[in-house]
């Protein structure tokens, strides 16, 4: 039943894509409770769980049929949402926080399979044209961004409604005593369990076969220059850019001149309208030029760094060149922030296409899991040692007072320089190692 096609997508591929979408960020589930901040100890715990379970899922993936790696995470996702749903019934000082931490860890454990969903989806098709892969990757990435926007919007709404004691404001349905988060989280848990069962019983035979032995698997992986460079990219970006992640997303909903729903509509316009236009354009040209998206995306430089600079350094707080119109300033500033987010997503898709064009499916999975492990370590180190570990600091200095006070900070140039060097390695290695050359 799951192999019935809707267009050129089998039904099972939609469910596997859901697993990839849910893995957008291992911390985002707690946004449902209104928590938009994260302590150092909680980050260390979540990153450690993410690291450990990445290793666990990889061992399971290499030893047993992919069926188990693709279905068990939905059990953990469901448990995480279930615990989150019942947490309002637990006293605030009687263990509610601990339950929410356990829910977050379960979500983190499940989300560490995100790279495997990407690597093995559509696995029974064999070799598909590059434009088909690109089309699918762009659709999934766009939905993932909308999911992230929705969670941050919900978190900002609940955080704004919190009472002084930090509770969920006893938010209930109408005049009943049923918490809103229960009504949202428990049905989601049931749906996720149903998806897991459907995949377990309905995935095609390709996912029910134990993987074969591949001689010199890890040696051959590291011989491809693109893989160590990809690992370096992940470490550099996680070290410099992971700590301000939450503050950067809060920028979208931080203006009193732009209601939260307006920011959501603006985000939908970019990640649906603009994204669809780019999707059609790239898919058309990738039929004859599969290198186009990777080269274009790498040529963008460092859009994620630019987005964080705009959102955390004060540059985007007020735009006087718009005629001192506060509403226009807030809207244009957030539109530019979203545009940089679109460019960052394009770059993510482009790097994914680089891996798909230079590595086999199994090697892509190994590279992505290795990146998750190294990224977790870099995130922990960043929270402990990075110059921007507790705020933008000198990495994203305050430019609202002028250019020179910020430009005089050494860490600003160090971080920027390391971000701008990364694309050149891909330019050097991609063409040389491309499997399917035009």
CB contact set of 156 (below 8 Å; sequence gap of 6+)? 36, 250, 253, 260
Residue 142 — very low, low, confident or very high, per pLDDT cuts 50/70/90? confident
**pLDDT reading at 301 higher than 60:** yes
Cα 412 to Cα 387: distance, rounded to the nearest angstrom: 10
Residue 244 contacts residue 312 (beta carbons within 8 Å): yes
pLDDT in tens, 369-398: 999 999 999 999 998 998 988 888 888 988
**pLDDT reading at 126 higher than 70:** no
Structure token digits, residue 68: 């188990």
Residue 367 — very low, low, confident or very high, per pLDDT cuts 50/70/90? very high
**Rounded to the nearest 10 degrees, how much is the dihedral formed by the CA atoms of 148, 100, 80, 65?**
90
pLDDT in tens, 34-60: 555 677 888 889 889 999 999 999 999
CATH code for residues 10-212: 1.20.1250
**pLDDT reading at 25 higher than 80:** no
Cα 173 to Cα 118: distance, rounded to the nearest angstrom: 38
CB contact set of 393 (below 8 Å; sequence gap of 6+)? 387, 411
Residue 415 — very low, low, confident or very high, per pLDDT cuts 50/70/90? very high
Any idea which residue has 């291992």 for tokens? 26
Quick one: pLDDT at residue 276? 86
Of 263, 238, 239, 419, the C-alpha closest to 338 is 263
pLDDT in tens, 76-87: 999 999 998 888
**pLDDT reading at 124 higher than 90:** no
**pLDDT reading at 149 higher than 60:** yes
Query: How far apart, in Å, do the first and last CA atoms of the chain sit?
Result: 37
Structure token digits, residue 67: 């069926």
* Percent of the chain with pLDDT strictly greater than 70: 89
pTM value?
A: 0.89
pLDDT in tens, 64-122: 998 999 999 999 999 999 998 888 888 877 788 888 889 889 999 999 998 898 888 76
């Amino acid at each position: 039943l799951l192999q019935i096609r809707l267009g050129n997508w089998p039904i099972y591929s939609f469910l596997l894509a859901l697993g990839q979408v849910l893995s957008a960020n291992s911390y985002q589930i707690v946004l449902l409770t209104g928590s938009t901040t994260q302590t150092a100890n909680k980050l260390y715990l979540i990153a450690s769980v993410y690291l450990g379970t990445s290793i666990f899922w990889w061992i399971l993936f290499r030893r047993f049929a992919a069926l188990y790696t693709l279905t068990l995470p939905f059990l953990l996702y469901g448990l995480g949402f279930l615990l989150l749903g019942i947490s309002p019934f637990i006293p605030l000082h009687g263990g509610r926080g601990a339950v929410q931490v356990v829910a977050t860890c379960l979500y983190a454990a499940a989300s560490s399979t995100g790279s495997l969903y990407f690597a093995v989806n559509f696995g029974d098709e064999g070799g598909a044209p590059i434009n088909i892969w690109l089309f699918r990757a762009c659709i999934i990435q766009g939905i993932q961004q909308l999911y992230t926007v929705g969670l941050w919007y919900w978190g900002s709404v609940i955080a704004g409604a919190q009472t002084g004691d930090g509770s969920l404001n006893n938010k209930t349905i109408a005049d009943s005593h049923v918490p809103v988060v229960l009504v949202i989280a428990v049905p989601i848990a049931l749906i996720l369990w149903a998806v897991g069962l459907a995949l377990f019983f309905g995935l095609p035979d390709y996912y029910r076969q134990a993987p074969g032995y591949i001689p010199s698997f890890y040696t051959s992986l590291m011989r491809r220059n693109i893989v160590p460079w990809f690992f370096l990219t992940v470490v550099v970006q996680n070290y410099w850019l992971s700590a301000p992640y939450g503050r950067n997303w809060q920028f979208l909903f931080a203006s009193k001149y732009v209601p939260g729903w307006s920011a959501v509509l603006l985000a939908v316009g970019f990640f649906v309208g603009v994204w669809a236009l780019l999707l059609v354009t790239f898919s058309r040209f990738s039929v004859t030029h599969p290198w186009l998206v990777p080269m274009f995306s790498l040529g963008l430089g460092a859009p994620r760094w630019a987005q964080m600079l705009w959102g955390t350094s004060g540059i985007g707080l007020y735009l006087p060149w718009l005629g001192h119109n506060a509403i226009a300033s807030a809207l244009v500033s957030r539109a530019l922030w979203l545009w940089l987010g679109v460019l960052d997503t394009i770059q993510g898709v482009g790097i994914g296409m680089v891996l798909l064009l230079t590595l086999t499916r199994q090697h892509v999975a190994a590279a992505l899991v290795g990146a998750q492990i190294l990224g977790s370590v870099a995130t922990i180190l960043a929270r402990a040692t990075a110059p921007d570990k507790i705020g933008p600091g000198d990495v994203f200095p305050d430019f609202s007072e002028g250019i020179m006070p910020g430009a005089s900070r050494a860490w600003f140039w160090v971080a920027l320089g390391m971000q701008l060097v990364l694309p050149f390695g891909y330019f050097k290695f991609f063409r040389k190692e491309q499997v399917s050359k035009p």
